[in-house]
Amino acid sequence: MQVSVESVGNLERRMTLSLPSEQLDTAVSGRLREIARDARIKGFRPGKVPAKVIEQRYGQQVRAEILDTMLRDSFGSAIRENALQLAGNPQIEPVPGGDDALAYVATFEVVPDFGDIDVSKLQVIRHAAEVTDADIDTMIENLRLQRRNWQTAGRAATEGDMVEFETWSQAGDQRVPAEGLERGATVLGGGQMLPAIEQALTGMSSGESKQFDVDFPDDWRVAEFAGRRVQVNVAINRVAEPVMPDVDADFIRSFGVKSGDAEQFRADIRTNLERELKGALMGRLRREVGEQLIAAYAHVEMPPRLVENEARAMAAQALEQARRQGHQGELPEGAHEGFMDPARKRVLVGLLVGEVARRHDLRLDPRRLNETLRLIASTYEEPQQVIELYRNDANLMQGLQARVMEEQVIDWIAERAEHTEQQLTFAEAIRQ
């Protein structure tokens, strides 16, 4: 194998690989002979299929598989021999070669030189919190709210009531809807509608109508209303008050506690809240460490293609989130450009975390991996099935391993940085 490496830019490299064709041919021939020993093809006895038939049936696939393996092995060896640290996946393409060689060009980016990474100079705030009985009481109250029923109230609407209404609006010459009425419902005080609309609905009774003006914000989801003063017309069809369920055995069983025992119910809630709190505190620590790393190494040039790919992925993620919220549309040309700055920061932190792990030989902790997997699985009705799903899916497991490894490195950095403790309540800790 012949290898040459040249610099295309500060962080981009081009590697030319030449693989002897006879080595590929020998490997392909050997594999085809192995297949021929057990191949079952109609019209031939097992082990008696002619070599030409085996070649026609399996030759192309076998050649592609062996060539892919040779390329990956050769590329990996060349990377190690040249002491290169890859940033992202390489682009490998064939180029015209000689009669006795297969030539390929691999274009890739490398990790920048961060110099001395002294994490002891970072200043990190490490937040702490715990789940209290009051937090459990609040969660039980939220669960009661989820299971509440509604009964018609023979009075004017107040905060906490559900109001069913019909509406139409006028913004200049535009009427929404163009014809007829829209029906809706909202719980007053729930923040589902603009405060001005909720305020107007408060005090109205069933059968009552009202017309009022509302100033909509510039980023309002309905384009016809965004940044405009709109005349809103509403007619109340029903005012309903909540009927809260008792926390009895039936209520408790409905949440999966078969015994209906109140203490077991509270214990399960505590476990769930502690799991949520642990994730929230790690998220805060990840942001804290990330911000410190960004501030300390903002001057380091990042691999441009890696940053652009991350920006495109972030734009696609934003589009998917918008679609889940009911918005339609496609990504406009150049949409990723608005994500370039956060993408650069994300790439910077990711590369730094990887470098810290490499330089200090940090290894994935199997116990932490198993603990995280059990925590994930515990949120499902059949935890063991979830565990088996991860263990049998290489992509899922690799993603989990990357997440756990990142958390390990973040913890390692935070322990060695100058850090101060800050106590939070549970509600403060989980607030984004």
303, 395: one domain: yes
Q: What pLDDT, in 10s, does the model give residues 254-306? A: 998 999 999 999 999 999 999 999 999 999 999 999 999 999 999 999 999 99
User: Position of tokens 């989130």?
Assistant: 321
Q: Inform me whether the pLDDT recorded for 32 exceeds 70.
A: yes
Instruction: Please check whether residues 404 and 275 belong to one and the same domain.
Output: yes
Residue 357's pLDDT band (cuts 50, 70, 90): very high
Query: Do 232 and 315 fall within a single domain?
Result: no
Cis peptide bond N-terminal to 332, omega within 30: no
In a domain, 334, yes or no: yes
Least confident range from 6-20, 36-50, 215-229, 265-279: namely 36-50
Across residues 297-322, what is the average pLDDT? Answer: 92
Share of the chain above pLDDT 90, in %: 65
On whether residue 225 sits in a domain, the answer given is yes
Instruction: Mark whether 426 and 304 lie in a shared domain.
Output: yes
Confidence of residue 392 (pLDDT cuts 50, 70, 90): very high
Average pLDDT over residues 171-191: 91
Residues 264 and 409 in one domain: yes
Q: Would 260 be classed as within a structural domain?
A: yes
In this prediction, residue 170 carries a pLDDT of: 92
More confident residue, 59 or 47: 59
Average pLDDT, the chain: 91
HSE-up of 399 (CA within 13 Å, CB side)? 6
294, 376: one domain = yes
Query: Where in the sequence is the domain holding 212, given as residue range(s)?
Result: 149-243
- pLDDT (mean) for 49-57: 84
**CATH classification of the domain holding 37:** 3.30.70.1050
Range in 56-70, 96-110, 155-169 the model is least confident about? 96-110
Among the residue ranges 26-30, 341-345, 362-366, the one predicted with the least confidence is 26-30
pLDDT tens-place string over residues 73-94: 889 998 999 899 999 889 988 8
pLDDT over 60 at 98, yes or no: no
pLDDT score, position 34: 86
Whether residues 123 and 105 share a domain: the answer is no
Q: What is the pLDDT of residue 287?
A: 93
pLDDT, tens digit (0-9, with 9 covering 90-100), for 58-69: 889 999 999 889
Output the 3-class SS for the chain: CEEEEEECCCCEEEEEEEEEHHHHHHHHHHHHHHHHHHCCCCCCCCCCCCHHHHHHHHHHHHHHHHHHHHHHHHHHHHHHHCCCCECCCCEEEEECCCCCEEEEEEEEEECCCCCCCCHHHCEEEEEECCCCHHHHHHHHHHHHHHCCEEEECCCCCCCCCEEEEEEEEEECCEEECCCCCEEEEEECCCCCCCHHHHHHHCCCCCCCEEEEEEECCCCCCCCCCCCCEEEEEEEEEEEEEEECCCCCHHHHHCCCCCCCCHHHHHHHHHHHHHHHHHHHHHHHHHHHHHHHHHHHHCCCCCCHHHHHHHHHHHHHHHHHHHHHCCCCCCCCCCHHHHHHHHHHHHHHHHHHHHHHHHHCCCCCCHHHHHHHHHHHHCCCCCHHHHHHHHHHCHHHHHHHHHHHHHHHHHHHHHHHCEEEEEECCHHHHHCC
* Residue that is last in its domain, among 243, 267, 292: 243
The verdict on 202 and 299 lying in the same domain is no
In a domain, 372, yes or no: yes
pLDDT score recorded for residue 2: 78
Is residue 292 domain-shared with residue 414, that is, in the same domain?
Answer: yes
Among 243, 270, 297, residue at a domain's last position? 243
Domain identity same for 45 and 80: yes
What CATH number corresponds to the domain at position 193? 3.10.50.40
Residue 4 has pLDDT above 70, yes or no: yes
Last residue of a domain, one of 243, 276, 296: 243
Q: How confident is the model at residue 43 (pLDDT cuts 50, 70, 90)?
A: confident
pLDDT at 101 (0 to 100) = 63
Cβ atoms of 405 and 357 closer than 8 Å: yes
| 413, 317: one domain | yes
Domains contained in the chain, number: 3
Residue 186 belongs to some domain of the structure: yes
Residue 367 has pLDDT above 90, yes or no: yes
- 298 lies in the same domain as 324: yes
pLDDT for position 184: 93
Confidence of residue 100 (pLDDT cuts 50, 70, 90): low
Q: Report the CATH number that the domain containing residue 378 is assigned in CATH.
A: 1.10.3120
